[in-house]
Amino acid sequence: MGREEGEKAEPVTPAGRFFLQPKGQNIIHCVVGTKDPIDIEATKAEIKTTLLKHPRFCSLLIRDKHGRELWQKTEVELENHIVYPDLSGLIGEEDEEEEVVINRYLGDLAVSSPLDETKPLWEIHVLRAQRCCVLRLHHALGDGISLMSLFLACCKRSGRPDLVPSLPQPKRRNLSPTTSVKEKLRRVVLMVWFTVVYCLQFVLYSLWMKDEETAISGGDGVELWPRTAATAHFRLDDMKLVKNAVRGTVNDVLFGVIASGLARYLKMRSPTKPAPGISGLALVNTRLRPGLQDPSLMLEPGSKTRWGNQMGYVVLPLDLQRKDPSDPLEYLKRAKALLDRKKLSLEAHFSYKMGSLIMSIFGPKVATWINYRVIARTTFTISNVVGPQEEMMFAGNPIRFLRASSTSIPHALTMHMVSYMGKVEMQILVAKDIIPDPRFLAKCFEDALHEMKDVASLPHANDQGRG
């Protein structure tokens, strides 16, 4: 591979430079399961006409004489990016369940060698017997919103190969035209107040604040520990039923399920200890337009929905002490109250802008050090990407499921949720010496939603949610 003549190198964005530092190296793993056996030649042909048309997928990472990272267009040898792994060592004598084998492989990938910088920073691992591919993508290429948006643009609707999948459109909570001046002023005051409080909390985590030590705590260096994975399965209709009981959102339900599930898990691991207070980091899209984007618009000069890493962190404190054992919706109500306050603040935008500012003033090493401290002093990572609810296909092969995870984070627990075709898959990646039983943890989350669903299905549930 060589550089293309006349192509000018593009600088890596400030956020992208963070992911190229030793402490910030991060690889996204997107698992795509298909209905039919994978046709390698058809898949290659589709990649050539879609992914390889995108500048980031045909660019080398280079550094100039000042050490600044740049993207340089190059020719791509597709064969060098496709891997056919040998999974024989991951399949047990009795336990050969497809999902278990895939998750074992993801655990191995999470601590395997980094992507080779002598070629564009992505790979596709083909697991033929499991009918799935693992897209291994360096986080410097873009965030989850960018990469998922691009992947969907490479797919077609099942039964309608002339159409791409429709992008989900998140609902905006705009004020009504009839909203009083007093109410508007109240919201502005609350926005300023919550922004100050939460941004100060974020700064304190980078200085000396730290979560209480628990059976799921990570810390400095844990990103190098051996990993294993598990998958929690939910139905989107169940989440919608539960959210309606408290007039909330699917994100409220997700956070409530995580709080309830972690409380169950920690009670099992430490039955004599009182429920702790811990916190997680949520990854939030900071673009003006929420949700998945049109990739063609993201590449236009001056676009307000730019390609790249346009995300900020939000600290989500969890109180796992159950105050009313008779109310299965207690964790959900607390989650909704917290997220309602977080939505009024500009915390995510603050963390993103501060990271960019520190990067430009002090350089990537200092910015990475500060960011790493915040992660290492909290307990878990969570993200959520809403995918299409219609079946889609890639290279003519219908897609069964979509999952995602990311690596090299000093948390012992990361959770990434992707919804598709009415199903919700939460990929759980853990440091297995700290959390040796991730499948049980996944069941704790599933049981938490089932308990909430049972209550939300009762006739009085909506009245309870308003109480």
> Which region holds residue 395: left if phi is over 0, alpha if psi is between -120 and 50, else beta?
left
Give residue for tokens 């459109």.
169
Tell me 224's DSSP state. G
CA–CA dist 359, 364 (Å, integer): 5
- Distance between CA 167 and CA 433 in Å, rounded? 39
Which pairing describes strands 132-138 and 27-34: parallel, antiparallel, or unpaired? Answer: antiparallel
Structure token digits, residue 159: 């039964």
d(CA 337, CA 236): 21
DSSP state of 57: G
Distance CA 9, CA 64 (A): 10
Please give the Cα distance from 297 to 305 (Å, whole number). Answer: 7
User: 118-134 b/e with 16+ CB inside 10 Å = b?
Assistant: ebbbbbbbbbeebbbbb
Q: 379 near 214, Cβ under 8 Å? A: yes
The whole-angstrom separation of Cα 13 and Cα 307 is 10
From CA 355, how far away is CA 368, in angstroms rounded?
Answer: 9
139 is catalytic: yes
In the chain, DSSP finds a helix count (H) and a strand count (E) of 13, 16
Three-state DSSP class for residue 63 = strand
- Which one from 29, 125, 139, 416 is the annotated catalytic residue? 139
Active site residues: 139
